[in-house]
Amino acid sequence: MTLKRVLGALCAFALLLCANLRCVYSVEAAGEELPGFWTRAEIEAASAAALAAAEEVSRAESALPELELHPALRLSPAGAGEGSAGELAAGILGHCAGVDAAWRVLVDGVELGTTDDRSVLGELLDGLMASRVSREAVEAQLSGELSFKPVCIPEGRATEDSQLLAAICDAAPVVYTTPDGECHLALG
C-alpha cells in the first residue's frame, strides 16, 4: 500500500515537473549577452519589432545583428520567459545596422543632446571642471542634476562632445567650495 502511494507521489511530481519545465533561451546580440531568458516566440516577436524600429530610427533599410541562442531548461509557467520582450527588442535594436545605442544627456530634466559614450563625456567633464575651479577648492560640482537616459539614434548622429560640454556648463555652471566653506561660481 505504501509502495503504491510513493509511486503515485513520484508520478504526480514527475507530471508537475514536466508541465512546468520549459525550453527557454539566453540571447547574444553581436557578441553581447542580453540579460534574461525568452521563449522562441518571444525572441521572434522581439526581433521583428527591433528590425521595424531600426528601419524607423535609421531612416533606411536595416539588418538584425547576428543572434546566438543558448538553450536552457527552466521551471516556469507555460509560455513565460524570464525577461520582458520589450527589453529584448531594445537590446537587439541597439545592435542593428544603421543604429547606435546612445544616451540622452539631461540637466535638471532638460535634454541637451546625445552621447554614444557617457564614460568619455564624464571624463571630459571632470577635466573641464578641474580646469575651471580654484586650486584651493575642496569640492566641485555642477549646479544642476546631470542624468542620462538610454536611447537609440541613427548611426553617427550623436552630439559632439565639445557641444555637449558647453551646453552642460551653460545649463548647470560649475560651483566649488573652498576650505573656509564658501561656495563660488567657477568662471571659464
Domain ranges of the chain: 16-97, 100-185
What is the 8-class DSSP label of residue 82? B
* Per-residue model confidence as pLDDT tens digits over 159-175: 999 999 999 999 999 99
pLDDT digits (tens, 9 = 90+) for 44-102: 999 999 999 999 998 888 889 999 999 988 776 554 556 778 889 989 999 999 999 99
Strand duo 146-154 + 174-177: pairing: unpaired
CA distances for 187 relative to 39, 130, 131, 164, 176, angstroms: 56, 12, 10, 18, 11
Tell me the percentage of the chain whose pLDDT exceeds 90.
50
Cell of residue 89, nine digits: 527588442
Cα–Cα dist 60/58, whole Å: 5
The neighbour count for residue 45, using CB atoms within 10 Å, is: 15
* Helix/strand/coil (H/E/C) assignment for every residue in 137-175: CCEEEECCCEEEEEEEEECCCCCCHHHHHHHHHHHCCEE
Cross-strand bridge partners of residue 100: 153
Sheet with 32-38, edge to edge strand ranges: 32-38, 21-29, 67-75
Instruction: Tell me what percent of the residues of the chain surpass a pLDDT of 70.
Output: 89
- Taking the complete model, does pTM exceed 0.75, yes or no? no
- pLDDT of 77 reads 59
Amino acid sitting at position 45:
A
